[in-house]
Chains A and B, each alone.
Chain A
Amino acid sequence: MSTWQDLVTASLIGTERAPVPPVRIPGLPDPAETLLDPAETLLDPAETLLDSAALLTAARRAGRPAGHAEPLAAAGPDPRPLVSPAAGSRLARMLSGEHPDLLTEWLAAVVDRGVRVPAQLVPGLLDRARRVSPADPELRRLAASAGGPRARWLAGLNAEWTFVTADAPAGEDAWRLGDAGQRRGYLTALRATDPGGARDLITASWDAAGAAERAMFLSVLAAGPALGPADEPLLEGALGDRADDVRSWAAYLLAGLPGSALGRRMAGRARRSLRLEAGPRGTRLIASPPAECDASMRRDGLAPGPGAGRSQLADRTHLLLEVVARTPLRTWTDSLALGPAAIVAVLSGDWAPVLFVGWSRAAIAQRNQDWMAALINEALTGRPPAMPAENGALSQLARRADPAIGAPDALAGPEPGAPLAVRAAIRVLRFRYEMLKELDVGYSHG
C-alpha cells in the first residue's frame, strides 16, 4: 500500500503526468471502500490527491510517535551560593548593553566572593566573552570562572565557547607552549600570587621577547598588585626600550611607583612649573609650564607635544599636563601644604582644566583614592568641565574611584541643569556602588 512519501512524489511530478497512488488512512477502511481510491471517484485527480493528503496529514500528525534521545552527561554540581536576584538582573542589564565596560569589575567581584551567576545568563555571558579579543583573556577567564561547572558543561556543547575549557595548558606549560593570551594569563596569575617570581620571569624573558610581548609584560604589571621598589630597575631599563609602546608603559608605571627616581625627576619639574600665590582675590595657582622638552624629559616618557591639529592644547600646555600626570601626588600636598580637596579647589584660571586632567591621570595611575574623591567632588560641585579631555578624565575617575563614593548618602544627586558628563559620572558611580552592594546581600544556598 502507498505511503505519504508516494503522495509527495506524485505531487512533485504533478497529476498531469503521475497517477495518484491510493492511500490507506490508519483507522479508516481500505481505499477500495472509500472515496479515496482514484479509480472509484469522479473527482479530478488533483482533488483526490489533495484530499488524500489532507486526511493523511491529520492522521500522521495525530499519530506521531515519540522519538528517542541520547541523554547528555549532567553538569557537575556548583556548591557556590547563587547571587541575589537583584545582582542577577544587574548582570542581565549589563549583558543587554547597559554599562558593558563595568562587566569585568562585576565579574571580578563575583569570583572574589565565591558566588555563582544564574544559569540562564551563562550563555549570554559566554557570548559576550567570546567577542572580546583573545589577546586580552581577562573577561574570558572571569566569565569562565563565574560560570563554573555550568559554563564548562555548555562549552562542551557549543564549539563557540571552547575558550572556557581550552585555556587548559596549566602551570608552566601555559608559559612555555601557550599562545599570547595563555602566556598573559599565566603571568597575571603568577604576579597575583608571587610578584617577585613574576618580575624575575619577565626579566629572564625580556631579551627574547618581541616588542608586543614586552608591552604585554608591562601591562600585566599595570593591571596587577601595586608595584614596589624592587620593580624599579626593570622599569628604568625599559625607559630606554626601542619600542614606543614599551617606553610609555614603563614611564606610566614608574610615575605610579612611590619613591621612584622618575617620580623624583618629575616632582622637580612639577615644582618649577606650579606655585601658590596669595593675591588680592585669594590664593591662586600660578603655572609656568616647561619651556622645552629636553632629552631627559623625553627619556621619562614626555612627548614633545601633540601633532598639529590633534589637540587644541599648545605644546607647553601639553607638557605641563604630562608632567602633572606623572608627578607623585605627595609632591603637591607636601610643597603646597594643603590636602587634595583644598588643592583642587584653589583657583587656577585658565590652567584649571589642564591641572584637572593631569591630576586625574596621576590619581588613577597612583591609585590614590583621596585624590580621586577630591577630583570627583570638585567636578560634581565646583567648576563644570570646560574641555573634552576633562569629560574623559571624569569618566575614568568614576570608573576607578572607590565605589563607596556612589553611596546615596555620600553622593548628592545632580543639580538641575548639570553638565552631561557630570550626570554620566554620577550614574556610573551609583551603578558601581549598587552593583557591588547587591553582591553582598541575599545569597540563596542550594
Chain B
Amino acid sequence: MAERWDRARVLALATDPASQRAAQALACGGSWPLTGAAGGNALWGECQGTAATPYRTAIELSGPAYRCSCPSRKSPCKHAVALLLLWADGAVMVAHYAPPAWAAGWLNTHAAESSNAPAKDPAEPADPKAALRRAEQREERVASGLAELDRWLCDQVRQGLAASQQAGYRHWDDIAARMVDAQAPGLAERLRALAAVPHSGPGWEGRLLAEYALLRLLAVAYREQAALPPPLRDTVRSRIGFTVRRADVLAAGRPVRDHWQVLGRRDLDQERLRVRRVWLRGRTSGRHALVLSFAAAGQSLDDSLTVGTGADAELVFYPAAIPMRALIAARHDEIRLDPPPGEEVAELLASWAKALGEDPWLDSWPAVLAATPARSPGPCLFDASGDALPLHPGAGGCWTLFALSGGHPLTVAGEWTPRGLWPLTAWDEGGMAVPL
C-alpha cells in the first residue's frame, strides 16, 4: 500500500474551502458503510448520502485520479476527498477481498491508461511549414491587437480616467476579449484585473494610470522588439502571452541544482483557471524561483511542493530578463531545511529596484524578511533598523502572522508588490514553517 498521506495533503486537493468542509463533515459522520483499499494504490468506498443509492467513489492514488457516481463536476468531489481523509486517518482497511466490480472495472482501465498515457506537453508539430505559417499569423494578430490596445489606452487618457469609476466591468472585458481574439492572453488577463482598480480605495487613479502606462510600454516594446536584448524580448513576449513549450525550456536551459526550499504558496483564481504560484529559494545559491501550476476551475492544483519542505532538485528557468519562473527538471531527495535567512528591508528594496531596472513590468518579487509586524500607521513589518514596509491591503488582518510574532521578530516570506507585502509563510519559534 502507498504510504499514507497526512490530512493536510488530502485537504489541499479539495477544489475550494466549501468542498474541504463538506468532505470533513462526510469523513466524520459515519456515512461510509463500505470502504476498502487494495493493490497498492486503489481505494474505494460507498457513501450513503441523502440519495437512495449510495455514491460509489474510487481513487487511484498514484495519479491521483478519481471517479465518483455523484453528479458533482468537481474533481476530486467531496466524496473522493472524504474517502482520502478516512484513509489518511487509517480508517480504511486493506481489504481481504477483491474490489467490488464497479470499482475494479474503472481501477483496471485507469491503471492501463495511465501507463500508456502520453506526456501532457504538445508533441512536436507534425507539419513544420504549417506551424511556421501559424506562428507568422499569430505575430500579425498580436501586432494589430497591440496597435488597437495602444489606441484604446490613449483614448482613455485623452478622455480622462475620471469616468472609469462609473464604468462597469464591461469596459475592460471588451478590450480584454479583443486581446483574446488577438491571441495575446497575457494582456487580456491584465486588462480584466483592471476592472477592480477603480474600487480599490484611495489612490485608485494613480494605480490605474500606472497600469495603463505599463501596458502601453508593453505595446511599444513589442513593436520595437527587434531592438531589445533577447532576454528582455523574452520577458515582453511572455507578458503578452506567448508561451514557451516545456520541452523547449528544458532543452534550452541549463539545470540549476540546489537544495530548493518552498518559501510560500499563493493560489489565484482567474477566469476559468486556477493558478498556483510556489516560491522557492536555493539554499546554496540564494537564488529564487517561481514554479507555476495551473488547473481548470473545479480541478485540484499540483500539490507536490508543500510549504515547509525542501528538495534536492534541478530547476530550469524560463528565458527572461529576470529569470524567475522555472520548471523542475529533476527531483532527487526530500530534505528538511532550517528557516531561510531573513533580509533587512533595505536589502529587499535594493534587489527590487535592481530587478525593476531589468523588467519594469515586474509586479511581484520574492521577499524573506527578518522583521516584526506592527499595526501603526497601518499593518506593516519593520526590521531591526526600524525600516518598515506596508502589508498588502488585500491580505486581510494577517492575524496568524501577528499571533506567531506576539510583537517579537520572526522570519517572514512573502510576495513584495507595489502595494505592499503579501505574507505567505512565517517560521515559528521551533523553526517550523507556518503557511499564513
Q: Which residues of A contact B (CB under 8 A)?
A: 4-5, 7-8, 11-18, 44-47, 49-54, 57-58, 61-75, 82, 89, 93, 96-99, 118-123, 149-150, 153-154, 157-158, 413, 416-418, 420-425, 427, 431, 444, 446
Contacts and interface: CB of A to CB of B under 8 A. Distances in A.
Interface in B381-401: 381-382, 386-390, 397, 399-400
Nearest to A422: B30
Given A50-B212, A57-B214, A69 B374 contact: yes
B25 A15 contact: no
Q: Which of B25, B357, B388 lies at the interface centre, i.e. has the most chain A CB atoms within 10 A of its CB?
A: B388
* Among B11, B25, B213, B353: residue with most chain A CB under 10 A: B213
Contact of A15 (B29, B157, B210, B213): B157
B30 A123 contact: no
A120 B388 contact: no
A62 B377 contact: no
B20 A61 contact: no
B404 interface: yes
B216 A54 contact: yes
A74 B373 CA distance: 11
B213 A150 contact: no
Given A74-B408, A119-B428, A417-B34, A54 B382 contact: no
Contacts of A45: 158
B415 to A, nearest CB: 14
Contact of A96 (B21, B216, B346): B21
B430 interface: yes
Contacts of B159: 14, 16
Contacts of A150: 403, 406
B344 to A, nearest CB: 9
B40 to A, nearest CB: 21
Nearest to B373: A72
Given A46-B155, A120-B434, A153 B31 contact: no
B217 A54 contact: yes
B158 A50 contact: no
A68 B388 contact: yes
B419 to A, nearest CB: 10
Interface string B192-210: 0000000000000110011
Closest 3 CB pairs of A and B: A14-B160, A424-B30, A74-B407
A420 B29 CA distance: 8
Given A120-B403, A425-B30, A427-B30, 15 more contacts: A4-B206, A16-B158, A50-B213, A51-B213, A64-B349, A66-B349, A69-B386, A72-B374, A75-B408, A120-B428, A123-B400, A413-B93, A423-B32, A424-B28, A424-B29
Given A70-B374, A158-B397, A12 B160 contact: yes
A54 B407 contact: no
Contacts of B220: 51
Contact of A158 (B376, B399, B408): B399
Contacts of B161: 11-12, 14
Contact of B372 (A15, A49, A71, A93): A71
Contact of A58 (B31, B356, B375): B356
B216 A50 contact: yes
Nearest to A96: B24
B305 interface: no
A421 B33 CA distance: 10
Given A53-B212, A67-B380, A73-B407, A420 B31 contact: yes
Contacts of B397: 158
B418 A8 contact: no
A7 B161 CA distance: 12
B429 interface: yes
Interface in B93-148: 93
B356 A69 contact: no
B83 interface: no
Contact of A66 (B31, B388, B403): B388
Nearest to B360: A58
B162 interface: yes
B407 to A, nearest CB: 3
A148 B78 CA distance: 36
B242 interface: no
A413 B399 CA distance: 40
A17 B160 CA distance: 9
B380 A69 contact: yes
A307 B31 CA distance: 31
A11 B374 contact: no
Contact of B154 (A46, A61, A446): A46
B424 interface: no
Contacts of B21: 96-97
Contacts of A119: 403-404, 406, 428
A73 B434 CA distance: 23
Nearest to B407: A74
B205 A12 contact: yes
B34 A67 contact: no
Nearest to A20: B157
A93 B28 CA distance: 11
Contacts of A13: 160, 162
11 contacts: A13-B162, A44-B154, A57-B210, A66-B389, A67-B388, A68-B388, A69-B377, A97-B24, A121-B403, A425-B30, A427-B30
Contacts of A98: 24, 27-28
Nearest to A18: B160
Contacts of A70: 374-377
A16 B155 CA distance: 10
A89 B7 contact: yes
B48 interface: yes
A47 B154 CA distance: 6
A68 B300 CA distance: 41
Contact of B160 (A16, A65, A417): A16
Contacts of B345: 66
B172 interface: no
A72 B403 contact: no
B161 to A, nearest CB: 5
A73 B159 CA distance: 50
Nearest to B23: A97
B352 interface: yes
A11 B160 contact: yes
B153 interface: yes
Contacts of A4: 206
Contacts of A149: 406
Contacts of B216: 47, 50-51, 54
B402 interface: yes
B91 interface: yes
Nearest to A9: B205
A93 B7 contact: yes
Contacts of A8: 205-206, 209
Contacts of A74: 406-408
A423 B33 CA distance: 8
A237 B52 CA distance: 52
Contacts of B430: 82, 444
Nearest to B353: A62
A123 B399 CA distance: 6
B116 to A, nearest CB: 35
Interface in B1-52: 7-8, 11, 20-21, 24-25, 27-34, 48
Contacts of A427: 28, 30, 91
Contacts of B360: 54, 57-58
A153 B220 CA distance: 53
Nearest to B430: A444
A18 B154 CA distance: 14
A53 B210 contact: yes
